[in-house]
Amino acid sequence: MKKTRYFTLMIFAIILFGTLAGGFYGRKVQATPPGAEQIRATDIESSFTEALNIVETHYVDEIKHENLTKASIQNMLRTLDPHSNYFDSKEFQELQSEQHSQFFGIGVTINRRNNRVFILSAIKGTPAEQAGLRYGDAILKVNDKPAIEWSTQEVLEHVRGPKGEPVEIEVERAGVPKPLTFKIVRDAVPLPSIRNSYMIKPGVGYIALVGGFNHTTEDELLQAMESLKSQGMKSMVLDLRNNPGGLLTQAIKVSNVFLQKGQSVVSVKGRDKAIESRVYEATNSNPEDIPLVILINRSTASASEIVAGAVQDHDRGIIVGDSSFGKGLVQTVFRLPYGSGLTLTTAKYYTPSGRLIQRDYSGLSFYEYYTRHFKKDGAKEPVGEKHRTDSGRDVYSGGGIKPDVEVKLSEFTTIKAKLFNATFAFARELTTGLVPGQSQFKINRTTFNHKLTEDEYVINDKVVAAFQTFIANKPDFKVTDAQLNENLDYVKRRIREEVVTAAYGTEVGTQVLLEGDEQTLRAINELPNAKQLAEARNRK
């Protein structure tokens, strides 16, 4: 208890002195009179210590210092900006593991559907696959703790753990009368940046760089491109949708693959003299000249916005989709005692044309900042300062990266939400052979690294009729015939996606969805324009 209380006071003092002095670990701002920082810091630290003493002495329940420390530091940092953050020892270890593209667990893709957490796929070569966990298994218990009410994140927290330690998982499997129990030893699980890579149509390669920018990102991209070129890739769609960002160094390396030597990638500007303002330039004397379209959306953030912004400013490729998140603050990672750490904003990102990526967060709560960018139809985005690309096109700062070709996805209606859950429940029974007359859809095991063809697992009228019978007597799923017919293409694609996921894994299942994805289809259609852009660049 003494150690945790001391830690609370120490961390508070570190952040306090660094914040008041305009930097970290007591750096001073020259305009502040000598000694002023110490006076203010002493007053505030005394107040904090007194408040902590009162809480410890008089609060009705026993104090958990770790929770108190975490909450106080996080709330303090959030008064600065939405991205400075504190991590306890467990979270900090997970952060470092993700940056190294792996963690320790069992190797499953899971999601909460129909009020339970289900396994969607076991990852190839991981303990989960070797143990026999499979698509559609509903997680009932983890280490004898009931997990039915848990969120996806709660299940992940209990399943992950130290390498070499066992975890026991109890599941319900469709068609099996009693729960099944698996005792699995945790091991390293890959966490790659690139989650999908295949020939989406003849001559067109698709690469989904959606897993963040980690230490292996550039290598993964180059390997994926080399593989697709061997399959005849002549143009490329790079999907950065839902990419949360990551390491600045890797964003620069990925941009360097496509930009000419000497072209700027990003500039970093900080207030603290110890954080040097710097312009990062491409160093590749033989960059890829393949026609390029990049997909972005509202969840494309940080490092992925650096790549999209650099490509757009230098007219190297066409950006398709929706405006990106708008996260242009640079965090420096500081290690703290007892294995914890914090990320503190120390600079800002600017694109080659001088655009500030970061959108305004003044006057917004933490919740508002992360939800406000999802605007209703017709709402106008704020327009920032105007800049120009290499060819003279107008681009604007603030609010993230705006696409060259804007494509809004169709609305996810209440009916589609019902059908999403219903198709999963149906496919779970379909792939275990429980749907009469549809034995051809029974999946005994997942086959990885499969190239999907159009004639596999076709969802015909008989399957749709079986689905209609399945949902007829289920109030949670029940939709009218008119509603079903109106969304028939969506239902067919969803059922096929689930079946293909069971048969070949989540990566191949996602390929089914991309066949009807408006943004992806538009990206493919824009490739001739991207080719013209690349040719014009090569003529310079």
pLDDT tens figures, 250-295: 999 999 999 999 999 999 988 766 566 789 999 999 999 999 999 9
The answer to whether the CB of 531 falls within 8 A of the CB of 538 is no
| Residue 313 falls in the annotated catalytic set | yes
Q: Which residues face 207 on adjacent strands?
A: 197, 238
Tell me the pLDDT tens digit for each residue of 425-476.
999 999 999 999 999 999 999 999 999 999 999 999 999 999 999 999 888 8
Q: pLDDT tens-digit profile of 191-238?
A: 899 999 999 999 999 999 999 999 999 999 999 999 999 999 999 999
Hey, which residues does 208 pair with through a beta bridge?
Answer: 196, 239
For the beta carbon of residue 186, count every other beta carbon within 10 angstroms. Answer: 21
Q: How confident is the model at residue 529 (pLDDT cuts 50, 70, 90)?
A: very high
Instruction: Kindly name the residue from 302, 304, 323, 353 that is annotated as catalytic.
Output: 302
Better pLDDT: 166 or 78: 166
**Using one digit for the tens of pLDDT, what is the confidence trace for 186-204?**
999 888 999 999 999 999 9
Q: What is the pLDDT of residue 131?
A: 96
φ, ψ (nearest 5 deg) of residue 301: -140, 155
pLDDT at 539 over 70: no
Catalytic residue among 327, 402, 418, 492: 327
Q: Which of 313, 322, 404, 517 is catalytic?
A: 313
Collapse the DSSP code of 113 into the 3-class scheme (helix H, G, I; strand E, B; otherwise coil) and give the result.
strand
Fold of 194-406: 2-enoyl-CoA Hydratase; Chain A, domain 1 (3.90.226)
pLDDT in tens, 333-349: 888 777 788 888 888 99
Q: What share of the chain is helix, strand, coil (3-state, %, to 5)?
A: 40, 20, 40
What are the sequence ranges of the domains in the chain?
2-79, 103-190, 194-406, 414-516
Q: Is 103-190 a CATH 3.30.70.20 domain?
A: no
For residue 422, the model assigns a pLDDT of 97
Query: What percent of the chain lies above the pLDDT cut of 90?
Result: 63
Q: pLDDT for 345-364, tens place per residue?
A: 888 999 999 999 998 888 78
Contacts 24+ apart (CB under 8 A), 514-517: 514/200, 514/206, 516/489, 516/490, 517/409
327 annotated active-site = yes
Place of tokens 């130290």: 162
Tokens of 507: 């990566």
CA–chain centroid gap for 369, Å, is 17
Q: What is the mean pLDDT of residues 481-507?
A: 96
